[in-house]
Structure 1
């Protein structure tokens, strides 16, 4: 998407949010826009991270959640489940 289209889309997004009564701060509006319209590089990074996770899962490089959760809780002095 080129800059002009991106700015037009963001302008429409703001107009719609304001018309709906949203009173978020400008920084919050930008963050919400970015969460709904990630950059291509952000999408590529997410896909790469997911692939690494799937590779770990297939290779057996995972740990049971309950064991990992208890270890993290213990390391912070929190109550184990």
Structure 2
């Protein structure tokens, strides 16, 4: 199997580290030109993507597709740390 970089299909992107304190959140928002890929480093919480709730724990990955309305909430007693990869397309 050959692996090729997706550079020819991607416009750009960025990596964003987040630390959300207990009870904190990233408010509801939408990206019209990018997907968000959220990798949970530690802590726990929930993601709401177009009304669907997904529980977040260390080691899981959550994807918010382009155009979806989404938010992330720390429901735990410790900080929720995640790395978001924004994939422009």
Specify if TM > 0.5.
no
Larger Rg: 1
TM-score range, shorter chain: under 0.3
Q: Which has the higher strand share?
A: 2
Give the alignment's TM-score, normalised by structure 1. 0.22
Give the alignment's TM-score, normalised by structure 2. 0.21
